[in-house]
Structures are given as structure tokens and as C-alpha cells.
């Protein structure tokens, strides 16, 4: 059967951090605060995939209290999620995402982000969607205090 999952994540900007989205490093500016590289897009995808496969969430599998994963690339988290799904007999069908951010401009980096994500997940790039929108100046995201990401994923499993 085909099963779907949903993921959401949000990280706040912090000084002295490097911004990484979809495994792409954005030069200059501020980065996001987090135990890993704080790649909010990868984290939302991880939760969508884990949810679709009936697994517990990213915080369970990759606790932010674990020093072994401090500063880890979130593409590596996705590779490990893929292994968890493989062990569960879940085959990824597709992933789709939306980033919510006032800045930076995502468009010029979309292809590189999609290549990183599809490679980490072992998918054809056409099975990985990345969209971006601003929050129209509304609320904390609109004030540029952080970046949020939403993801959905579909997997095929025997049951
Ligand atoms: Mg996160």
C-alpha cells in the first residue's frame, strides 16, 4: 500500500551560524540555530518519511542531546532515515516540500538543493519537490526571525 507522512520544522536565525538549506551552504548573512547543521528542510523531510513509514520522529532517532551528532550534516540524517525505511521495508515514492522564509532567495539554489536531497534519498530528482514562499511579512517568520519548512512524503510498504 501507499502511505503518506507529514513533516514540519522551524529554526530561528542566530549570529555566528552558517545557513544550510537542502544541503546547500548560503554564503554570508545569518545561519539557523540547531544541534546539527540546522537544515530545516532536511528535518521536515526526515519527519515526513519517518511518519509515512510508521516510525517515531526525528527527535527520537536523532536526539539533540546526542553529542555524536553535534554539527552533523542533515543530508547524513536523511541517509540514515533512508536506511531506517529500508529496514522497515518502505520504498520512497516521492517527497514534496515548501520552505517559508523572507530570505534568502531560494530560486538560484533550487537545482543544487534538489540534487543533494535526491542523492541522499536515492531518488530521481523529479521525485523531490522544493517550493518556497515568504510569509508576507506576517508574524515571526515574516519578521525574518527564522525559517520554517513543510514536507509530505509517500512510501510504498507491504502493509
Ligand atoms: Mg530541526
- Count of structural domains within the chain: 1
Ligand 1 geometric centre to CA of 43 (Å): 5
Ligand 1 geometric centre to CA of 74 (Å): 9
The single residue listed with the C-alpha cell 544541503 is 23
| pTM score | 0.97
| Enclosing domain of residue 121 | 2-157
Please, are residues 56 and 49 in contact by the beta-carbon 8 Å criterion? no
Provide the residue-wise pLDDT of the chain in tens; the chain has 159 residues. Answer: 999 999 999 999 999 999 999 999 998 879 999 999 999 999 999 999 999 999 999 999 999 999 999 999 999 999 999 999 999 999 999 999 999 999 999 999 999 999 999 999 999 999 999 999 999 999 999 999 999 999 999 999 997
The CATH number of the domain holding residue 145 is 3.30.1330.50
Ligand 1 geometric centre to CA of 115 (Å): 21
Beta-strand ranges (E) seen in the chain are 2-14, 19-21, 24-26, 31-32, 91-100, 128-133, 146-156
Ligand 1 geometric centre to CA of 57 (Å): 11
Amino acid at each position: 500500500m501507499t502511505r503518506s507522512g507529514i513533516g514540519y520544522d522551524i529554526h530561528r536565525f542566530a549570529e555566528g551560524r552558517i545557513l544550510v538549506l537542502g544541503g546547500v551552504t548560503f554564503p554570508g548573512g545569518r545561519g539557523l540555530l540547531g544541534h546539527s547543521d540546522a537544515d530545516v528542510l532536511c528535518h521536515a523531510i526526515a519527519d515526513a518519511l519517518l511518519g509515512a513509514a510508521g516510525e517515531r520522529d526525528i527527535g527520537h532517532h536523532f536526539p539533540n542531546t546526542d553529542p555524536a551528532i553535534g554539527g552533523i550534516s542533515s543530508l547524513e540524517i536523511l541517509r540514515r532515515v533512508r536506511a531506517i525505511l529500508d529496514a522497515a521495508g518502505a520504498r520512497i515514492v516521492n517527497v514534496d516540500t515548501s520552505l517559508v522564509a523572507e530570505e534568502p532567495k531560494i530560486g538560484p539554489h533550487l537545482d543544487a538543493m534538489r540534487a543533494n536531497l535526491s542523492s541522499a534519498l536515492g531518488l530521481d530528482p523529479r521525485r523531490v519537490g522544493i517550493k518556497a514562499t515568504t510569509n508576507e511579512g506576517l508574524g515571526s517568520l515574516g519578521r525574518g526571525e527564522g525559517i520554517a519548512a513543510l514536507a509530505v512524503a509517500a512510501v510504498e510498504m507491504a502493509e
